[in-house]
Structure 1
Amino acid sequence: MTAAPPGPSGQAGASPGRFLRQWLRRDPGLLLRLLLWTAVESVPALLAGRLVATAVDRGFLHGAPLVGLAWLAGLAFSSAVGAYGARNALARSGEFVEPMRDALIAYTVERSLERAVTATRMRHDLSGVARLTRQVEIVREAAGSLIAVVCRFAFAFVGVCLGSLTLAPTAAVLIFAPVLLTVAGYVLAVRGLARIQLRSIVAAENLAQEAWELSAGLRDITACGMEESAFERVDRAALENVCAHEMLARMNAVRTMVLGLGGWLPLLLILLWARWGSAGVSAGTTLGILTYVMQSLRPAVQALVQGLGTTGIRLLVTLGRLLEAKDAGQRPTPDHAERPVTLPDLGVTAKEISFSYSATGNEVLSAVDVYVGPGEHVAVVGPSGVGKSTLAAIMAGTLAPVSGTMKWGGVNVCDIPQETRARLRAYLPQEAYVFTGSLRENLVYLCEREVPDAELDRAAEEMGLGDLVREVGGYDTALKPESFSAGERQLIALTRAYLSPARLTILDEATCHLDQPAEARAEQAMRRRPGTLVVIAHRVSSAEAADRVLVLDGTNTEQDTHQNLLTRPGLYRDLAGLWQPPGP
């Protein structure tokens, strides 16, 4: 069996109708056997009314109950024959749909892999999971059910009409006309109902995609302060899913109305005919006509309406979704996303910043003033627990100060949308985040364009990541985050920030797990990178290389160059002395 399901010329992109017709023609002998067994299943529909009429007219009304029972025994026998036919028809239907399911699974996997290796921008497409686990099963179940329903209705309708004609031609017309109008009207409404079903399927795919992206990127979302934006995206997808299912519920109301017309209107007409238009018609004939309507026709109409209205539409829409030649699950990438974006360097200005983690707790920061000029490199130093990491998070926009203002380029950070903040700055906490995926995906995660290998090579050599790239076997090697040391994870995260378009980079002891030469190399590369750099320093070498040093001591701050701060007594000179290695 080939991986791709049969379609026009064996190509993907076949319409659902053509696909189903071609699939049915793949084995004419199997189709013929299915029709024959369905005909056997429909024997009770053809004989029920005639047998009941004969049992009443020739048996019970003539005082011959044994004769009547004998004819009813024939009805029981015909029901047994019908059950045997139904059993075999179901088996033949399974022979159709099981190979179809296997082909669609193979095709779906093939298309998902093709999207993964040919996408211009790497992206996890979890809508393929929805196709493979849910939509293929919908097609399998719906195809088998619809084939059975259509065949049963066709044979039952023909049987009822023929049987009614042998009993009372006028009654046959009263049965035939409303059923024909019902089926025709429902077919006209199918296109609109299919659009509603398609909207429901797409909404389910989008919700699955958004939920996966949220769960996979929780740490990045928190680090970038994008919780609100991420929640809004998932909430929009969930609301769209709810709206789509509400429309499906309204569709059920339409189906119920159609079912009433096709299933109950013939019964009403027959009852009116029996009261006023059946002169000369025997009681057995009337009862036989009612048997045809109640036992055979109404269940067949009900199954057809429900089958076309639910199963049939789900089959056509879902199968069309699976057979789309274009990537239905892949969201279009905006035009600007493939072009490098040049962002301005950002200056950081903090005025009277205060922060505490609870209303009753002590202030971690109190009336702190900070200024970092555009393109400047500033190191933040201070004793442990003084609030350096808290200040870094506030400068990055992931924490909001209790009081005071934090501005980037003269704009209050709280007025900048979360997604814009993520593009403007890169914030690296002490514990670096490496996610499961390829090394390439980890490195270009913050990029807004496709990054060629040559650029990745330059960044890796600049940051000292080259040896690790060669060790793991290249950029497309799948990573296991737990297999890397803390220092290796920091190098990957630093290179990710180096490649990003951000023009404000904040390193909160993001090199603390590196040895001194590796730390110096990484920080030198970050300084050569365009943009503003703020480093929470834990070694004197980091402060020496900075344009200015911000000394943080609770309520007191001091800013100056490294050399100037060493010339006067104070906290910085004490810290610098502690950082210096002991003499021989």
Structure 2
Amino acid sequence: MSPADAPERLRTRGLRFLKAHRRALARLVGWSVLESGQTFLLGYALARALDDGFLAGRAAVGLGWLAPAALGVLLGAYGTGRVYGAVAALVEPLRDRLVVRVVERGVREADGGALSGLTQQVEIARDTFAGLVMVSRSFVFTSAGALAGLCSLAPPLLLAVVPPLAAGVALFALTLRPLAGRQEAFLAADEALAQDLGAVCPGLRDVTAAGAEDRIAADTGVLVDAELRAARALARWGVVRVACLALGGHLPLVMLLACAPWLLAHGVTPGALVGALAYVTQSLLPALTGLVHGLGTSGSRLTVVLRRLTPPDPTEPRPAPGPGPSAPHPPGPSAPHPPGAAAPRTPPALALTALTFAYGPASAPVVDDLTLTVPAGGHLAVVGPSGVGKSTLTGLVAGLLEPVRGEIRVCGRPVPGGDAAARRVLIPQEAYVFSGTLGENLAHLRPDPVPEKELLAAAEAVGLAPLLDALGGPDATVDPAALSAGERQLIALTRAYLSSAPLALLDEATCHLDPEAEARAEQAFAARPGGALVVVAHRVSSARRADRVLVMDGPRTMCGTHDEVVRRSALYRDLVGSWTAEGTDDDAGNARERPEPEGPGASGVPGKPGESGKPGGPGESGAVSQPALPLGDADGVHAVAGAGLAGDRRHVVPHGPVGQVQAPRDLRDGGALGGEG
């Protein structure tokens, strides 16, 4: 549910709530009518007391007319007391419903903010809702009583009071939407600044030790400036609110005084004029002041709190996901199409709807109710800790795994299916190169022969050209065992680039390349005409290059730009912090990761026995930059058997020559395979 649709959703729920509690609403109206009698009697009795009593020299008659006014005060006080009871009958069910929703969310989703919602936000919603009901009701019934009194005294009085009052209320109504928008923008800016300071302040020692004071100050300064701009915009609209109050509340008083000679000349008695002044000063002005300050200030506050406490109801119809992935809720609806209008010609490159997957009936879902959309030409980076489900997600999109429920569509075609398979290409971390010519490897995914000119252009775009020249061109014979891991990845990337599939899935397919080679390859895929790219990122620079970043974090999965998820996701901030960076940027604005020495096992890939790390070819160096997180399958399934498993006492080395083995004890945990001592 997008922010643009939230007001309509809250309005619909509000109408349903009032309909369900129409009896309490009817009691509120009835007691408000009794309370408004006090307003009517105030000015009318005062006018009659002056005209028929004190001004005519009959004090007893004047005092007699003041008696109904005193009685009206007593009846109004009684009605006001009953009004509070009717308001409670509306407010307390709302509070109970919000408490139930907060508790359900805290229990089912393990929401850490449930305690704050239960102890603070629910009470804010209850108090604010009660205040809005009171001020709105007071203005409606007080205005009705005062205008009825003016009409009964002398209809010409309405000419001096009604036009400015109506103009002030109309101007205030026109400012409600922009004023609420400015208030919500200010609250959002304030919360963003508070969240940033909450992350920065505990780490000031680390900031100082890393010499990052200027960068942190600049980032925080952006948020401070944003809040300042929001506060100034809100203040400007606050001036308009004061103008509404002056126009609708104070101008009628001036009009009555300025038009007094004309009114007295046209049959308005002095008592009626005094009664009209009483209506304006004692009834209309206080009621309008309460409406402007109460509705203008508390209305948007209530809206913001209700949006947070009442997520979209699963029984309500959901709009189609918009351009840009999000989880667990889509960021917004697609643009609606009028009846009879043609649908968009280009479907999204990838569309997931309520996707859920678990590795067993009793297992917790690895992917839970994920809905996202990657448009044609989009670029999405998927990040998260090891085992969170990044490779599982690419496997689901590729049709290698079957979801428990939900729908997957690639370019509008359902997965699994032959049409969808022809429109996506998956490049895993462990690149596959077969014996044959280099040209045969590169054209493997194309049914027809690939022109040499197109093949060379693809190699140049991806960064394979130096290796292609070193090997002797497309007709050179390839020995997979003689290639380094990075060289095999470049070949696999170029092969996928030459395929006709518009959706490319890179599952850590560049982990053995240096940052520059990785950037070149990813930018080549992102620049393919009509091609979309989904990257399982293992460097912060890779995530920065993407249009959107999907942070997989169980029920706290979220999506947005790099800057947005840095502010909103604690996990993403930790992941970015764990990537080693020098603190400088390259020409593309990407952080340069600090290289680490490569040697046997330094990159998670054992080297040849007796060899130290050495340059492996184009895109690799003797000190290859490696991710801070361990490589291997992101879902925790490794090609290397762990200790205690049955085996043949031989361990096949990934990326090594065929038949190459390691000693049984040369394992991750230093233990033996198959219980060998």
Q: TM-score range by the shorter chain?
A: 0.5 to 0.7
Q: 1:263-289 deviations in whole A, cap 9, x for unaligned? A: 012112222221223223221111111
Q: Which amino acid aligns with 1:193?
A: L
Q: Confirm or deny that 1:454 pairs with 2:454.
A: no
Please provide the CA RMSD for this pair. Answer: 4.4
Q: Specify whether residues 20 and 448 from structure 1 end up closer, same or farther in structure 2 by C-alpha distance, changes over 3 A only.
A: farther
Q: Confirm or deny that 1:50 pairs with 2:47.
A: no
**C-alpha separation in 2, matches of 1:241 and 1:21:** 34
* Deviation of the 1:110 alpha carbon: 4.2
8 Å Cα contact 1:14-1:324 kept in structure 2:
no
SS at match of 1:90: helix
**C-alpha separation in 1, matches of 2:245 and 2:208:** 52
**C-alpha separation in 1, matches of 2:21 and 2:67:** 38
Query: Which residue of structure 1 aligns with residue 79 of structure 2?
Result: 85
8 Å Cα contact 2:41-2:68 kept in structure 1:
no
Q: Specify whether residues 414 and 300 from structure 1 end up closer, same or farther in structure 2 by C-alpha distance, changes over 3 A only.
A: closer
8 Å Cα contact 2:95-2:122 kept in structure 1:
yes
Query: Which residue of structure 1 aligns with residue 431 of structure 2?
Result: none
Query: Which residue of structure 2 aligns with residue 288 of structure 1?
Result: 275
**C-alpha separation in 1, matches of 2:139 and 2:45:** 21
8 Å Cα contact 2:585-2:592 kept in structure 1:
no
Q: 1:80-136 deviations in whole A, cap 9, x for unaligned? A: 32122222212321232233233224424544676668xxxxxxx86x777666544
Query: Which residue of structure 2 aligns with residue 4 of structure 1?
Result: none
**C-alpha separation in 1, matches of 2:115 and 2:8:** 21
Residue 303 (structure 1) aligned to one of 286, 290, 295: 290
* Deviation of the 1:232 alpha carbon: 3.7
8 Å Cα contact 2:632-2:638 kept in structure 1:
no
Q: Specify whether residues 454 and 224 from structure 1 end up closer, same or farther in structure 2 by C-alpha distance, changes over 3 A only.
A: farther
Query: Which residue of structure 2 aligns with residue 335 of structure 1?
Result: 380
Query: Which residue of structure 1 aligns with residue 256 of structure 2?
Result: 270
Query: Which residue of structure 2 aligns with residue 145 of structure 1?
Result: 131
* Deviation of the 1:228 alpha carbon: 4.3
**C-alpha separation in 2, matches of 1:269 and 1:221:** 64
SS at match of 1:42: helix
**C-alpha separation in 1, matches of 2:83 and 2:135:** 11
SS at match of 1:147: helix
Q: Specify whether residues 75 and 108 from structure 1 end up closer, same or farther in structure 2 by C-alpha distance, changes over 3 A only.
A: same
Q: Specify whether residues 138 and 65 from structure 1 end up closer, same or farther in structure 2 by C-alpha distance, changes over 3 A only.
A: same
* % identity of equivalent residues: 33
* Deviation of the 1:61 alpha carbon: 1.3
8 Å Cα contact 1:14-1:323 kept in structure 2:
no
Query: Which residue of structure 2 aligns with residue 65 of structure 1?
Result: 59
**Superposed, which structure 2 residues align to 1:336-355 within 5 Å?**
336-338=381-383, 340=508, 342=511, 344=514
Give 1 or 2: higher helix fraction. 1
* Deviation of the 1:193 alpha carbon: 1.4
**C-alpha separation in 2, matches of 1:457 and 1:144:** 62
**C-alpha separation in 2, matches of 1:66 and 1:269:** 33
8 Å Cα contact 2:515-2:593 kept in structure 1:
no
Q: 1:274-314 deviations in whole A, cap 9, x for unaligned? A: 12232232211111111111111111111122223222233
**C-alpha separation in 2, matches of 1:215 and 1:457:** 42
Unmatched 5+ residue regions in structure 2? 313-325, 332-371, 384-506, 517-580, 597-626, 644-664, 671-677
8 Å Cα contact 1:205-1:329 kept in structure 2:
no
Q: Which amino acid aligns with 2:172?
A: Y
**C-alpha separation in 1, matches of 2:127 and 2:257:** 38
**C-alpha separation in 2, matches of 1:449 and 1:244:** 44
Q: Which moved more, 1:281-290 or 1:337-346?
A: 337-346
8 Å Cα contact 2:584-2:592 kept in structure 1:
no
**C-alpha separation in 2, matches of 1:13 and 1:163:** 37
Q: Specify whether residues 147 and 242 from structure 1 end up closer, same or farther in structure 2 by C-alpha distance, changes over 3 A only.
A: same
**C-alpha separation in 1, matches of 2:40 and 2:280:** 11
Query: Which residue of structure 2 aligns with residue 251 of structure 1?
Result: 237
Q: 1:543-580 deviations in whole A, cap 9, x for unaligned? A: xxxxxxxxxxxxxxxxxxxxxxxxxxxxxxxxxxxxxx
8 Å Cα contact 1:259-1:301 kept in structure 2:
yes
**C-alpha separation in 2, matches of 1:109 and 1:270:** 56
Q: Which amino acid aligns with 1:249?
A: A
**C-alpha separation in 2, matches of 1:329 and 1:201:** 22
Residue 16 (structure 1) aligned to one of 10, 18, 25: 10
Q: Confirm or deny that 1:312 pairs with 2:299.
A: yes
**Superposed, which structure 2 residues align to 1:384-423 within 5 Å?**
415-416=584-585, 423=593
**Superposed, which structure 2 residues align to 1:530-549 within 5 Å?**
none
Residue 159 (structure 1) aligned to one of 128, 137, 145: 145
TM-score for the superposition, normalised by structure 1: 0.54
Q: Confirm or deny that 1:206 pairs with 2:192.
A: yes
* Deviation of the 1:155 alpha carbon: 1.0
* Deviation of the 1:31 alpha carbon: 1.0
**C-alpha separation in 2, matches of 1:344 and 1:192:** 50
Q: Which amino acid aligns with 2:636?
A: A
**C-alpha separation in 2, matches of 1:145 and 1:92:** 13
Q: Specify whether residues 421 and 185 from structure 1 end up closer, same or farther in structure 2 by C-alpha distance, changes over 3 A only.
A: closer
Q: Specify whether residues 100 and 59 from structure 1 end up closer, same or farther in structure 2 by C-alpha distance, changes over 3 A only.
A: same
Residue 32 (structure 2) aligned to one of 35, 38, 53: 38
Q: Which amino acid aligns with 2:142?
A: A
* Deviation of the 1:344 alpha carbon: 2.8
Query: Which residue of structure 2 aligns with residue 75 of structure 1?
Result: 69
SS at match of 1:188: helix
Q: Which amino acid aligns with 1:189?
A: T
SS at match of 1:336: strand
Q: Which moved more, 1:174-183 or 1:155-164?
A: 174-183
8 Å Cα contact 2:582-2:592 kept in structure 1:
no
Q: Specify whether residues 64 and 335 from structure 1 end up closer, same or farther in structure 2 by C-alpha distance, changes over 3 A only.
A: same
* Deviation of the 1:262 alpha carbon: 0.4
TM-score for the superposition, normalised by structure 2: 0.47
Q: Which amino acid aligns with 1:336?
A: A
Q: Which amino acid aligns with 2:514?
A: P
**C-alpha separation in 2, matches of 1:291 and 1:205:** 45
* Deviation of the 1:21 alpha carbon: 1.6
**C-alpha separation in 1, matches of 2:156 and 2:327:** 55
**C-alpha separation in 2, matches of 1:75 and 1:254:** 36
Q: Which amino acid aligns with 1:247?
A: A
Unmatched 5+ residue regions in structure 1? 1-6, 118-124, 347-411, 427-444, 463-519, 526-584
**C-alpha separation in 2, matches of 1:74 and 1:286:** 19
Q: 1:365-409 deviations in whole A, cap 9, x for unaligned? A: xxxxxxxxxxxxxxxxxxxxxxxxxxxxxxxxxxxxxxxxxxxxx
**C-alpha separation in 1, matches of 2:205 and 2:75:** 64
**C-alpha separation in 2, matches of 1:185 and 1:102:** 36
Q: Specify whether residues 345 and 301 from structure 1 end up closer, same or farther in structure 2 by C-alpha distance, changes over 3 A only.
A: closer
Residues matched between the structures, number: 369
**C-alpha separation in 1, matches of 2:252 and 2:291:** 16
* Deviation of the 1:148 alpha carbon: 1.2
* Deviation of the 1:56 alpha carbon: 0.9
Q: Confirm or deny that 1:193 pairs with 2:238.
A: no
Q: Which amino acid aligns with 2:227?
A: N
Of structures 1 and 2, the one scoring higher in RCO (CA 8 A, sep 6+) is 1
Q: Specify whether residues 183 and 63 from structure 1 end up closer, same or farther in structure 2 by C-alpha distance, changes over 3 A only.
A: same
8 Å Cα contact 2:135-2:290 kept in structure 1:
yes
Q: 1:497-516 deviations in whole A, cap 9, x for unaligned? A: xxxxxxxxxxxxxxxxxxxx
Q: Specify whether residues 13 and 257 from structure 1 end up closer, same or farther in structure 2 by C-alpha distance, changes over 3 A only.
A: closer
SS at match of 1:186: helix
Query: Which residue of structure 1 aligns with residue 170 of structure 2?
Result: 184
